[in-house]
Amino acid sequence: MTLASLLPFLAASEARAEGTFWMPEQASTFAEEVDWIYYFIYWIDVLFFFLVIGAMVYFAIRYRAKTGKERTSPLKGSHSLELAWSAIPGLILLSFFWFGFQTYMDMQVPPKDALNIRVTGQKWNWSFEYPDYGIRQGGDQGLVVPSGQPVMLTMSSVDVLHSFYIPDFRVKKDVVPNRYSTIWFEAKGTGDHQVFCTEYCGDDHSRMLTKVHVMEPAKFREWVRDNKADDGPVDGQSLFSSMGCIGCHSIDGSKLVGPSLKGKYGTDEQLTDGSTVAIDDNYIRESIMVPGAKVVAGYAPQMPPYQGRLNDEEVNALIDYIKTLK
Amino acid sequence: MSSTTGDLAPGHEHDHHASYLTATKGVASWLFTLDHKRIGVMYLVAILTFFLIGGLAALGVRAELFTPEPDLFTGSQYNRWFTVHGAVMVFLVLVPSIPASLGNFFLPLMLGQKDVAFPRLNLLSFHIYILGALFLIYTLISGGVETGWTFYTPYSSTTDSSVISALMGAFTLGFSSILTGINFIVTIHKMRAPGMTWRKMPLFLWGTYATSLIQVLATPVIAVTLFLLMFERTFHIGIFDPALGGDPVLFQHFFWFYSHPVVYVMILPAFGVISETVSIHSRKHIFGYMAIAASSVAIAFIGFLVWGHHMFVSGQSELSGTIFSLITFGVAVPTAIKVFSWVGTMYGGAIRLNSVMLYTLAFLFIFTIGGLTGLFLAVLAVDVHMHDTYFVVAHFHYVMMGGTLMGFIAGIHHWWPKMTGKMYNEKLAKFGCLVVFTGFNLTFFTQFVMGARGMPRRYHEYLPEFQLWHQLSTIGAFTLAAGLFITLGYLLLSLKNGEKASKNPWGAKSLEWETESPPIEHNFVGQVVCDHGPYDFDEIDYSRG
Ligand SMILES: [Cu+2]
Ligand SMILES: [Cu+2]
């Protein structure tokens, strides 16, 4: 660890910057500002720590009782000292507040021309929709954004709370059911960055990860062209991964949070209420739209409802795909 | 002189001058005692037992995190382990810790009284505590909960684990806190020894007083919140669950309206202990008595206005976020004043570096780091990055575990001779303190580093880049546990073969030291009068001006 790595503000730049001892890589316009404030507080903290703890250690040694018969000072306080050590920290703290407030306000107000992307959080998958381009993806595909251009995420959850966090961008916001929350950022440089879910959401909270892929604007346009919804047939297999089904249902027979869908079609299913149903198109449709209606024995009702998120064509494609899992 | 081993012939009226430990015999004489000292001791034993349970859960969590992959637990088991750790530590250990044990024992003694104002209420609050604990134990046996100690909705309103019994536990424990709080407030207002003005009260009592105010004012809010959540789960009426038309963020407001003040319930009594120990073992008058006393009360009140700083990224409005951030700095100032005053107290003293003082210094070291790192989290833009990462975990362990626990252990060592009549092995105590201090910092300092680098909290698995820090932290946790076991060991040994403690082994001036060690059943013979301040030590050389 060199001194320069602790003083990142000496090396501000256009491109993404290496991480320092404390902070991860700086890959958005906010990162630099946040780190500046972080290190500003950090050095003042270090100074105060050494003043206070230094004085404590010094007094402990200097005034250590040796004979046990020492006489001690009658000092009971000092108004001027007390005033000083209330007022000086108070003023310093106000400056902390002010810097933090300014950058925070920048984080809250997205520029008008930001690229809009919708984010849906669900147990345990992030999916992304580009309304301008009709692109929808999720699972391992991650979020694709252009560099050097403001991007705004409008986020919502379909089940419990989640939180969308990109450490390299220094942005985070809770993703709440029945409510929209927003984040905006402008990525610097190109490359991949980790996304975490940071609001506890159950069994696979720590697997609710994905990546942001930052591309040159030209490459991003190319990506859009390649992925733009054409009016061709909907692909059940890709929906199965982008809608997060794959996180809870294996296609190889192994048991995850939900039952494996391998070879399921056409068999009978035991439900928690003791009854059995035949797994046919209607049952699968209902399982996807209102999973709580019939719950498979031995499983908790963990599946989020897809009512309103998938249209008929998409549900059909999913059913057709499930039929092929032999 | 009264005897400390007052054994009596059976059938006799018991000896009022016998030690409180031996005045009456049998399990029932403890479980149904009205003696605040016995109630304090029972709390102490119960709290330490739960501390052991919560601590073992923490070791389970740390052991799992030794490698990035799942080793010991599945995701859902891991989530139960950290929930047990959090819920037990908060509701059964930290909230009652100092006030219920040391507070119960010493509050009447320091006031020069024979008991608290309402001894029966005091016993009731202990029984309620045990009842609440039983609910939580039942929760554990019936499969546990995995909501985290925070019970955030809608997770807690939809999961099918034993949420109801856990909520019942926390709900019940709230009543125990409220009753203790009321009892202490009334006792302090109405029952001070003749001559003991508010300004002559030991600072431990000021800390306890401020704590009691919070307990009485804040606890009903959490009780109502938990009740609403139980109601929602049972009758499916939408309050917090959006699927039923409720508002999940409302729960967070309610929850933190209680849970933020409650961090002061945990820390203010520790401040009180440190104010005693730093002055008594430096042989010097406390620096800035009024500033310390008043800042406790100020913190208690401002503490009610900052709950939103737990919610900067929850989607609450920018305006609320800004106001909460600003007010939060308002709590930092009185806290800083205290730390400066404690260090100021050491100036010009004759400092005994015994184990009590070492724990006091450890407290100052750790708490200062806890406080200073809180500043990052109060700053809006930085909190956006740090929120719900290990940085926050490290911060509140520095404050809650480092602060409250170091204060608690310092207090136990300081008052051990008075409570038990025995001295412990000082050499082992210093060694234990060193191990605890090292283990603690290794466990939690590493968490600041990984948190700032982006490691989210409540993760069962993690990315390999964080492994080094997690491993150091796990090693630290086991070191810390070893230190605590050493401490428990010599304390228990001292009961058997410790040297007998004198009335006032530290040369302290507060009234609890004027009775026998251990105190007689009714605390004092006759009415004690308070004719000096609690920090007017014999060594002070008033001629120095
Ligand atoms: Cu999540
Ligand atoms: Cu999560």
Q: Which of A248, A207, A259, A164 is nearest to B75 (CA)?
A: A207
Residue B330 lies in a domain: yes
Residues A8 and A95 in one domain: yes
Q: CA-to-CA distance for B90 and B132, rounded, in angstroms?
A: 13
Q: Give a yes or no: residue A72 inside a domain.
A: no
Residue A140: pLDDT band (50, 70, 90) is confident
Q: Indicate whether A81 and A184 sit together in one domain.
A: no
On whether residue B242 sits in a domain, the answer given is yes
Average pLDDT (A198-205) is: 92
The answer on A104 and A119 residing in a single domain is: no
Q: Is residue B350 part of a domain?
A: yes
Residue A257: give its domain's CATH number: 1.10.760.10
Residue with tokens 């919140």: B225
Residue A53 touches partner B, C-beta closer than 8 Å = yes
Residues A215 and A278 in one domain: no
B435-472: b or e for each residue (b if 16 or more CB lie within 10 Å)? bbbebbbbbbbbbbbbbbbbbbbbbbbbeeebeebbeb
Quote the Cα angle for A258-A263-A266, to 5°: 100
Residue A99 placed within a domain: yes
Domain count, chain B: 1
- The residue in chain B having the minimum alpha-carbon distance to the alpha carbon of residue A39 is B376
What CA–CA distance (Å, rounded) separates A156 from B517?
Answer: 63
Interface confidence, given as ipTM, is: 0.90
Is A40 inside a domain boundary? yes
- Does residue A83 share a domain with residue A10? yes
**What pLDDT, in 10s, does the model give residues B277-296?**
999 999 999 999 999 999 98
CA of B323 to the centre of ligand 2 (A): 28
Task: Suggest the residue from B67, B74, B306, B375 to mutate for an interface test with chain A (most A CBs closer than 10 A).
Answer: B375
B515's CB contacts (< 8 A; 6+ apart) are B109, B503, B523, B524
For chain A, give the longest Cα–Cα distance. 94
Of A89, A170, A201, the CB nearest to B336: A89
- B410: tokens are 């310092």
Q: CA-CA distance, B454 to B387, in Å (whole number)?
A: 10
Q: Are residues A223 and A123 in the same domain?
A: yes
Long-range contacts for B486-491 (Cβ within 8 Å, ≥24 apart)? Answer: B486/B428, B486/B431, B486/B432, B486/B435, B487/B409, B487/B429, B487/B432, B487/B433, B487/B436, B488/B48, B489/B428, B490/B424, B490/B425, B490/B428, B490/B429, B490/B432, B491/B412, B491/B416, B491/B424
A248-295: pLDDT as tens digits: 899 888 888 889 998 888 888 899 888 889 898 889 999 998 888 888
CA of B82 to the centre of ligand 2 (A): 15
How many Cα neighbours within 13 Å face the side chain of B46? 28
Q: CB count, 10 Å around CB of B7?
A: 9
Tokens for A57, please give them: 């250690």
Q: Which domain holds residue A154?
A: 115-227
Q: Check: pTM over 0.90? Answer yes or no.
A: no
As residues whose CB is below 5 A from the ion ligand 2, the structure lists A 197, 201, 205, 208
A186 lies in the same domain as A272? no
Using CA coordinates, name the residue in chain A closest to B540.
Answer: A72
Report how far residue B296's alpha carbon sits from residue B208's, in angstroms, rounded to the nearest whole number: 9
Count CB atoms within 10 A of the CB of residue B254: 20
B282 CB within 8 Å of a chain A CB: yes
pLDDT value of residue B222: 85
pLDDT tens column, A21-50: 999 999 999 999 999 999 999 999 999 999
Say how far residue B177 (Cα) sits from the centre of its chain: 12
B contact residues 295-314, partner A, Cβ 8 Å cutoff = 312-314
DSSP type of residue B466: G
Here the tokens at position A58 are 């010094």
Please give the pLDDT value at position B14: 52
Biggest alpha carbon–alpha carbon distance for chain B: 74
| Residue A200 placed within a domain | yes
Per-residue pLDDT of chain B (545 residues; tens, 9 = 90+): 333 333 444 444 455 678 888 888 888 889 999 999 999 999 999 999 999 999 999 999 999 999 999 999 998 899 999 999 999 999 999 999 999 999 999 999 999 999 999 999 999 999 999 999 999 999 988 888 889 888 888 888 888 788 888 888 988 999 999 999 999 999 999 999 999 999 999 999 999 999 999 999 988 888 888 888 888 888 888 888 888 888 888 889 988 988 899 899 999 999 999 999 999 999 999 999 999 999 988 888 898 898 899 999 988 888 989 999 999 998 899 999 999 999 999 999 999 999 999 999 999 999 999 999 999 999 999 999 999 999 999 999 999 998 999 999 999 999 999 999 999 999 999 999 999 999 999 999 999 999 999 999 999 999 999 999 999 999 999 999 999 999 999 999 999 999 999 999 999 999 999 998 899 989 998 889 998 999 999 888 888 76
Do A52 and A144 fall within a single domain? no
Residue A161 to residues A132, A136, A174, A199, B237, Cα–Cα distance (Å)? 27, 22, 7, 6, 19
Mean predicted lDDT score pLDDT of chain B: 91
How many angstroms is it from B79 CA to the middle of ligand 2?
12
Q: Answer whether B72 touches A (CB < 8 Å).
A: no
Is residue A90 one of the residues assigned to a domain? yes
Contact A173 B333 (CB under 8 A): no
Angle made by CA atoms B48, B16, B494, in degrees to the nearest 5: 35
Same domain, A196 and A256: no
**Could you list the residue range(s) of the whole structural domain that residue B383 is in?**
36-536
- Flag whether residue A25 sits within 8 Å of chain B, measured between CB atoms: no
The answer to whether residue B543 sits within a structural domain is no
CA–CA min distance B301, chain A (Å)? 18
CB B467 within 8 A of CB B383: no
Q: What is the CATH number of the domain that holds B134?
A: 1.20.210.10
Spatial separation of the C-alpha atoms in residues A287 and A290, rounded to whole Å:
6
Alpha carbon distance B412, B98 (integer Å)? 9
Residue B51 half-sphere exposure toward CB, CA atoms < 13 A: 21
CB of B367 closer than 8 Å to CB of B398: yes
Residue B430, chain A, CB below 8 Å: the answer is: no
For residues B213 and B39, give the distance between their C-alpha atoms in angstroms, rounded to a whole number: 21
- Distance, CA A82 to ligand 2 centroid (Å)? 46
Residue B41, in any domain of the structure: yes
User: A–B: how many Cβ contacts below 8 A?
Assistant: 281
Question: The tokens of A122 are what?
Answer: 């669900």
Tell me the CB-side half-sphere exposure of residue B486, using CA atoms within 13 A.
20
Q: In what order do the strands lie in the sheet with A143-146?
A: A143-146, A210-215, A191-197, A162-166, A171-175
Which three-class secondary structure string do you get for chain A? CCHHHHCHHHHCCCCCECCCCCCCCECEHHHHHHHHHHHHHHHHHHHHHHHHHHHHHHHHHHCECCCCCCCECCCCCCHHHHHHHHHHHHHHHHHHHHHHHHHHHHHHCCCCCCEEEEEEEECCEEEEEECCCCEEEEHHHCEEEECCCEEEEEEEECCCCEEEEEHHHCEEEEECECCCEEEEEEECCCEEEEEEECCCCCCCHHHCCEEEEEECHHHHHHHHHHHCCCCCCCCHHHHHHHCCHHHHCCCCCCCCCCCCCCCCCCCEEEECCCCEEECCHHHHHHHHHCHHHCCECCCCCCCCCCCCCCCHHHHHHHHHHHHHCC
Using a CB–CB cutoff of 8 Å, tell me whether B449 touches chain A: yes
- Residue A205 Cα to chain centre, angstroms: 11
Q: What are phi and psi of A309, to 5 degrees?
A: -105, -20
The gap from C-alpha B500 to its chain's centroid, in whole angstroms, comes to: 29
Q: Does B248 touch chain A (CB under 8 A)?
A: yes
Whether B4 maps to a domain, the answer reads no
B347 CB near a chain A CB, below 8 Å?
A: yes
Query: Alpha helix (H) ranges present in B65-202?
Result: 75-87, 97-98, 104-111, 119-141, 155-158, 163-190
Q: What CA–CA distance (Å, rounded) separates A23 from A35?
A: 7
Residue A295, both tokens: 């719950």
Is some CB atom of chain A closer than 8 A to the CB atom of B346?
Answer: yes
Q: Decide if A71 is inside a domain.
A: no
Within 8 A of B76 by CB-CB distance, chain A residues are 202-203
Number of domains making up chain A: 3
What's the DSSP call for residue B243?
A: G
Which of A52, A81, A174 lies closest to B368 in CB terms?
A52
Has residue B117 been placed in a domain? Answer: yes
pLDDT at A2: 41
Q: What is the DSSP letter of B73?
A: -
Task: Determine the distance separating the centroid of ligand 1 and the alpha carbon of A205, expressed in angstroms.
Answer: 5
